[in-house]
Structure 1
Amino acid sequence: QGEHPELLEKGLEERLAFCKRWGTDQMVEMQKADLKNYGVEFDLWFRERDLHAAGALEEAIAFLDERGLLFEAEDAKWFRSTDFGDDKDRVIVKSDGSYTYVTADIAYHHDKLKRGYTKLIDIWGPDHHGYIGRMQAAIQALGYSEDTLEVLILQYVALLRNGEQVKMSKRAGEFITMQDLVDEVGKDAARFFFLNRSPESHLDFDLDLAVEQSNENPVFYVQYAHARISSILRQGRDMGVSLPNSKEVDLSLLTHDSEIALIKQMASLPEELLTAAMQREPHRVTRYALDLASLFHSFYTHCHILGEKEQLRDARLVLVAQVQVVLRKVLGILGVDAPEQM
């Protein structure tokens, strides 16, 4: 009443419609804030109601009708999606005049393509797998090639605590938000755990493991490798040994198997990043980080650094410094911090 006194003069339906819009907007703002804390910010948030208000659904229907891709049957309007490989034609206007879900989806993709985008990548839940064919049919009906739309199916996540699944229920209002998760395990663990699985794989997110400071915790394992290298370099400075210029070091002394393995792993980074991007597989980057950290920990076990003779010591200092650079870059790509000490 204080912020919107005009509501008192409106009818019940108008007040309910306002409250629905207001409540939705508040929830979206909460989601934006939670995602920002998690390290994700979208350039544009698009509401379906904006499509309806702009007449985008009617425009998309008219476009398909002009191309002869609609027909009427059973008092409804149908889209000839089978002409483009779908398993059956789809209703887009029901007998009561209302639109189906697919109508809004066609209008949204039509709008996005008109805005100049040439590649659309949708991320859907596992219960929408059967929806791919009809949307790819719609994309072709709009005049674009089938591969203009790429759909990634993301599997569900289960949260585990004390070895048991955390029960959640939308009906009972029992759930854990993204912010709850970040508050409990931290942004770094949350991001690394989510990114450490392929999109098509189910994830059991172990809340206890995510906060554990042990080698079993993957994000701790990688971050500890970075921090351990910082410790080595600090110890060197305390001993009066500064990091040498790589051009002034005899790197041919790096012949141990663990040293060669580190060098090969670092050299493979560009190819790994390209593959991860082209195949939409960010988990390849977390696996790369884990492999590099593992190789470094193995090297640290088998090879002394500061206690070696000067030439070999300097070569190994250069090596571990470069490992740290790569770890920092990879963690940065993942949106995970690279701590100097732990």
Structure 2
Amino acid sequence: MTPAKLAETVLNAACEVLVARGLDASALPASTSVERPRSPEHGDYASTLALQVAKKVGVPPRELAQALADRLADAPGIAAVEIAGPGFLNIRLAAGAAGELARDIVLTGAEYGRGVRFAGQRLNLEFVSANPTGPVHLGGVRWAAVGDALARVLRAAGAEVTTEYYFNDAGAQIDRFSGSLLAAATGVPIPADGYGGAYIAEIAKAVVEKRPEALTLPADQARELFRVEGIALMFDEIRTSLADFGVMFDVYFNEKDLHTGGRLDHALERLREHGHVFEADGAVWLRTTDFGDDKDRVLRKSDGAWTYFTADCAYYLEKRERGFDRVFIMLGADHHGYVGRMKAMVACFGDDPDVNLEILIGQMVNLVRDGQPMRMSKRAGTVVTLEDFVDALGVDAARYALARYSADSPIDIDVELWTRATRDNPVYYVQYVAARTASVARNASELGLDRGPAETFQPSLLTHEKENELLKALGEYPAIVATAAELREPHRVARYLEELSGAYHRFYDKCRILPTVDDPWSETKAARLWLNDATRTVIVNGLRLLGVSAPERM
């Protein structure tokens, strides 16, 4: 019996109890959940439903809990129900009911763990969005791993998610970039406010090879040519490096299109319609202080130039007009001050800033080797890049290492640890279980053995303590995915996989699956093979949410 099925059983029993007593069954929630107790002595699962509902229907919690326990005692698959404290229900499953989960998981396959919590919601998730003035650095790499994992988790929870990369191809940083390329191509020093690093010389050389006339044009024309060609080359490199990292976006949106497509004027008119635009000192302003911002924001300067904030307004509105219910933006630790003005801007459009916009702030990450931070890239000159990171760890370890921690916590990634083929390397620990479960199934097949058809599976044979522990861990997976989506914390999936891996190792050590001369094949071993294959299914599903492979051999 899955936790979801047990929760449904508890809810149905509660409805029957209330109806039988002439009480208001509408006081029950639309859905409920069961939790795994911290101590195995307290049963297999616990429910707080009686505590939640008792006050609403005017019945003492323990009295309602007792009535619910009596009703559940007759339910199929439940061995016993005990009342604890003020009205907690501790539920013990019958051996067969617990073991049925293994069959359910194998038959459900890739769909196991997927839910409907966010069904019907259209979400836009923007992350990385590094300026096309250099390679993706380590901060952007963290967002690539976490953002892509979050998109996968939200989809698993039923949401329709569009991932988006905002391509900043307009503004002063692009002018400095093109100036740096022109300087590198003509052999003069890079401007003091320009971009350094070997990649500038590489791109400048590539532009000249593609457009030899670049060195003979007047300065302003040459700068424009280096801008257009340099941005195209840099962005191609960014897209390729992210794709090699397993991150491909649904939409790549150019900031310049906001300017050339009239989106800035459109946003300004919409803000005027809502009554929050005013003029002062020759400039056009948005009165964001009406909604808690620390100061009002300029939309158009006195010289007629648009501000970066206007582009932010236009881009948000463009997403909403594409039909997205909620806009997610992932930003680095240096963007805390950005949150207030963006929330106020959303309110100025007449939207709810707590519903239609969510800004996630991530902290710094350092790559450490021999106890010392790696701060310099051979190519970028000042930072560690995506290419450096993948070269040091490999794609799987890099993605897992970054997605394993809460994004709001700074982390140090130890190269030696994450490249070690030992159990203290978290990604190796989990992938080893993926490979071991595949190996067990493969070896069984080579011996001419299999699980047998689903109708012959005997879940009641899975009675060993370690089998029960593994079944409980497997049953937690759907709730882990739902919680990770609800809290925007894909690291919960990684930590869960490590706990599941530990449960599998303990099961494998104590419960023989494959036959030996002294211990031949049996129905119990066939049931354990179902449990082995169920574990691989969950490991594969969970690693897929993190964008990490589940090898069949290691």
Give the TM-score taking structure 2 as reference length: 0.58
- Give the Cα separation in 2 of the matches to 1:9 and 1:211: 50
Does 13-22 or 291-300 show the bigger shift?
13-22
2:404 alignment partner, one of 192, 196, 199: 196
Counterpart Cα distance in 2 of 1:66 and 1:319:
61
Paired residue for 2:549? 337
SS class of match (2:366): strand
Find the aligned partners of 1:172 and 1:4 in 2 and give their Cα distance.
Answer: 24
Say which structure, 1 or 2, has more relative contact order (CA 8 Å, 6+ apart). Answer: 2
Specify whether residues 237 and 8 from structure 1 end up closer, same or farther in structure 2 by C-alpha distance, changes over 3 A only. Answer: closer
* Alpha-carbon shift at residue 154 of structure 1 (Å): 1.3
Q: Which moved more, 1:245-254 or 1:255-264?
A: 245-254
Residue 294 of structure 1 corresponds to 502
**Deviation for aligned residue 1:32:** 0.5
- 2:525 matched residue in structure 1: 313
Equivalent position of 1:110 in the other structure: 317
Task: Structure 1: state its 5+ residue gaps.
Answer: none
Change (3 A) 1:172 1:37: closer
Larger Rg: 2
Instruction: Quickly say closer, same or farther: Cα 1:73–1:169, change in 2 above 3 A.
Output: farther
Quote the residue 2:425 is aligned against: 217
Kept after mapping to 1: 8 A contact 2:433/2:504: yes
Moved more, 227-236 or 167-176: 167-176
Q: Name the counterpart of 1:130.
A: 337
Check 1:283–1:75 CA distance in 2 against 1; reply closer, same or farther (3 A cut).
Answer: same
Unpaired runs of at least 5, structure 2: 1-207
Q: Secondary structure at the match of 1:46?
A: strand
Letter aligned with residue 299 of structure 1: F
Using the TM superposition, give the Cα deviation of residue 171 of structure 1 relative to its aligned residue in structure 2, in angstroms: 12
- Give runs of aligned pairs for residues 228-307 of structure 1, distance below 5 A: 228-307=436-515
Match among 247, 263, 271 for residue 64 of structure 1: 271
Matches of 1:114 and 1:87 in 2, distance apart? 28
Aligned in 2, Cα 1:172/1:319: closer, same or farther, shift over 3 Å? closer
Inter-partner Cα distance in structure 2 for 1:169 and 1:264: 46
Does the 8 Å CA contact 1:191/1:335 hold for their aligned counterparts?
A: yes
Residues 324 and 80 of structure 1: CA distance in aligned 2, closer, same or farther (over 3 Å): same
Contact kept? 1:37, 1:179, Cα under 8 Å: no
Partner Cα separation in structure 2 for residue 291 and residue 22 of structure 1: 49
* Greater CA drift, 24-33 or 236-245: 236-245
**Does the Cα contact within 8 Å between 2:451 and 2:457 map onto a contact in 1?**
no
Of residues 370, 375, 385 in structure 2, which corresponds to 1:162?
A: 370
Distance in 2, Cα, partners of 1:217 & 1:231: 21
Offset, 1:5: 6.6
Indicate the SS of the match to 1:42.
coil
Task: Quote the offset at 1:9 in angstroms.
Answer: 8.0
* Mapped contact 2:274–2:349 kept (Cα < 8 A): no
Aligned partner of 1:142 in structure 2 is 349
CA distance in 2 between counterparts of 1:225 and 1:242 reads 20
* AA of the residue aligned to 2:363: Q
* Separation in structure 1 between the aligned mates of residue 299 and residue 215 of structure 2, nearest angstrom: 38
Cα gap change, 1:26 to 1:135, in 2 (>3 Å): same
- For residues 255 and 87 of structure 1, do their structure 2 counterparts lie closer, same or farther at Cα, with a shift above 3 Å needed? same
1:233–1:243 contact (8 Å) kept in structure 2:
no
Deviation of the 1:169 alpha carbon? 7.5
RMSD: 2.3
The letter for the 1-side match of 2:297 is R
Identity percentage of aligned residues: 42
1:128: how far off? Answer: 0.9
Are 1:44 and 2:256 an aligned pair? no
**SS of alignment partner, residue 45 of structure 1:** strand
Counting matched residue pairs gives: 342
CA-to-aligned-CA distance 1:164-222 (integer Å, 9 cap, x gap) = 11113899723332133223322111111111111211121122222110011111101
1:77 is matched with: 284
The TM-score normalised by the length of structure 1 is: 0.92
Q: Distance in 2 between matches of 1:161 and 1:116?
A: 46
CA distance change for structure 1 residues 5 and 300 in 2, over 3 Å: closer, same or farther?
closer
